[in-house]
Amino acid sequence: MPDSPSTESIAVGATFAHDRWLPGQRWYDARRARALARFLRRDLPRASFYAPYVGRPLAELPVVDKATVLADFAGFNRYGVTLEQAMDVAREAERTRDFTPTVHGVTVGLSSGTSGRPGVFLVSDRERRRWAGALMAQLLAPASLRIVARRAPLKVALFLRANSNLYETLGSSRVEFRYCDLTRPLEEHVAAVSDVDVLVGPPSVLRQLTTLVALRPTQVIAAAETLEPDDAAAIEAAYGVPVEQIYQATEGLLGVSCPERRVHLNEGYVHIEPQWLDNQGLDDERFVPIVTDFTRTTQLVVRYRLDDVLLAADGPCPCGRPGRSVRAVLGRCDDVLDLRGTDVQTVSVFPDVLRHAMAFARPNDYRVEQHGEIWRIALRGATAEQVEREIGDLAERLHAPPPKLETMPWPVEAATDKRRRIRRVRGLD
Ligand SMILES: [Zn+2]
């Protein structure tokens, strides 16, 4: 059956209806639309969950999330691997820290869950190689490429909460990876990173590292946590290079930053539909991405609603790359707190907005947890009065009464936990 790119182009185009979601270059979109159409025709029917939807356009397929996939894990992969089988392999690998076992010849990855159940995913060797290639191609800045040309190998330190043989794919004679296991104290890794060229890790870890060792890397890349402006500034001041960013999830490599500090979505591989978060007319530029990866054929990622909030960017990026970009990855959906508005509706307090307000109180660090009507706050280097004033001003700007604030002791956080300064433990009823 021949491709029908025109029909699919229309379907793809229709999902980009929002005016901020500007179309990319026409050739770029047409090529992606063909790849997506081929994926839907050839690969979608291989997963039993999609049996009732064969032949339907993307827009008619159900939007799924982590809970949907975990509830019918076997239905979303072409081998019918069950969640129990995948979890057994992943847990054994975590326990022994031997990340070579596979099931049906497929690698099982386990993402560090910040709350609830961890994410589990299956990838084939081919998908791993493609992921590694995309990552390397997008990450290696000219300065790093010069090192490869002049005196390979390029030394890359990866700070990770959980290893997987996903990362072992990356090693080669030109690039040497040093895996720094975050279940070990950070001090133990200082010797291993003393001569590295590229540092990759969660921003809270990279920032902590600046207090332990003076380094002169050619590239510093934040991953796995939201890159907050204060961390980026501290890391840049210490290491003298701009902090780059990769946006990645169990759902694959979703974006990388550019010199203009936007995050370019990985549209060569994934199709992203924005689900706009309208905040009572106060806000229309934040969205939750719904992702379809048309290159993954082992475990299908089709209209998968991520748990992230992104900040849209206006127009094409000045850096000149084709495709869509966002200004920032703001955090997870449950980093969005809520306040009772003047009417019965609630007003969302987005994490970037709250971070901005907190910055005026100038704490060295803080945690904010919403428990219904009450926001519990832990502070280092600022007073509760300063914070109360800033949050009061913020609530006023949002036309909402301020939340009830309580101080709480500094929460216990394991080194392997993702740092989350703002968290909605329980929202308003
Ligand atoms: Zn750009």
Distance 326 CA to ligand 1 centre (A): 9
E strands, 126-284, are 154-160, 175-181, 198-201, 219-222, 243-249, 252-257, 263-265, 270-276
What's the whole-model pTM score?
0.84
The three-class DSSP label of residue 240 is coil
- For residue 224, report the phi and psi dihedrals to the nearest 5 degrees: 75, -15
In this prediction, residue 421 carries a pLDDT of 93
CA atoms within 13 A on the CB side of 289: 32
C-alpha dihedral, 252 to 316 to 35 to 127, nearest 10°: -20
What residues have a C-beta under 5 A from ligand 1, the ion?
258, 260, 262, 317, 319
Residues of the chain with pLDDT under 50: 1-20, 23, 114-115
Q: No. of H helices and E strands in the chain? A: 12, 21
Distance 69 CA to ligand 1 centre (A): 33
Distance 328 CA to ligand 1 centre (A): 12
Residue 267 and residue 24 in contact, taking contact as beta carbons nearer than 8 Å: yes
Amino acid identity of 44?
L
Residue 26's region, left for phi above 0, alpha for psi from -120 to 50, else beta, is alpha
In this prediction, residue 252 carries a pLDDT of 81
Distance 324 CA to ligand 1 centre (A): 9
Distance 187 CA to ligand 1 centre (A): 35
Q: How far is 428 from 384, CA to CA, in rounded Å?
A: 23
Residue 326, number of CB atoms within 10 A of its CB? 23
Q: How far is 53 from 60, CA to CA, in rounded Å?
A: 8
Distance 236 CA to ligand 1 centre (A): 19
Q: How far is 416 from 185, CA to CA, in rounded Å?
A: 10
Distance 126 CA to ligand 1 centre (A): 28
Distance 28 CA to ligand 1 centre (A): 16
Distance 327 CA to ligand 1 centre (A): 9
In this prediction, residue 96 carries a pLDDT of 78
The set of residues, in sequence order, having a beta carbon less than 8 Å from that of 130 and lying 6+ positions away, is: 269, 295
The set of residues, in sequence order, having a beta carbon less than 8 Å from that of 44 and lying 6+ positions away, is: 50, 53, 54, 300, 302
Matching residue, tokens 């290893």: 163
Distance 314 CA to ligand 1 centre (A): 12
Residue 40 and residue 50 in contact, taking contact as beta carbons nearer than 8 Å: no
Q: How far is 335 from 423, CA to CA, in rounded Å?
A: 5
Residue-level length of the chain = 429
Residue 348 and residue 283 in contact, taking contact as beta carbons nearer than 8 Å: yes
Distance 154 CA to ligand 1 centre (A): 25
In this prediction, residue 152 carries a pLDDT of 80
Distance 311 CA to ligand 1 centre (A): 14
Distance 257 CA to ligand 1 centre (A): 7
Return the bridge partners of 245, or none. 222
Distance 321 CA to ligand 1 centre (A): 6
Going by CATH, does the domain composed of 336-426 fall within 3.30.70? no
Distance 252 CA to ligand 1 centre (A): 20
Matching residue, tokens 């609530």: 395
In this prediction, residue 341 carries a pLDDT of 77
Residue 252's region, left for phi above 0, alpha for psi from -120 to 50, else beta, is left
Distance 179 CA to ligand 1 centre (A): 29
Residue 406 and residue 373 in contact, taking contact as beta carbons nearer than 8 Å: no
Return the bridge partners of 220, or none. 199, 243
Q: How far is 205 from 91, CA to CA, in rounded Å?
A: 24
Distance 254 CA to ligand 1 centre (A): 15
In this prediction, residue 367 carries a pLDDT of 96
- Is residue 95 exposed (0-12), middle (13-18) or buried (19+ Cβ within 10 Å)? exposed
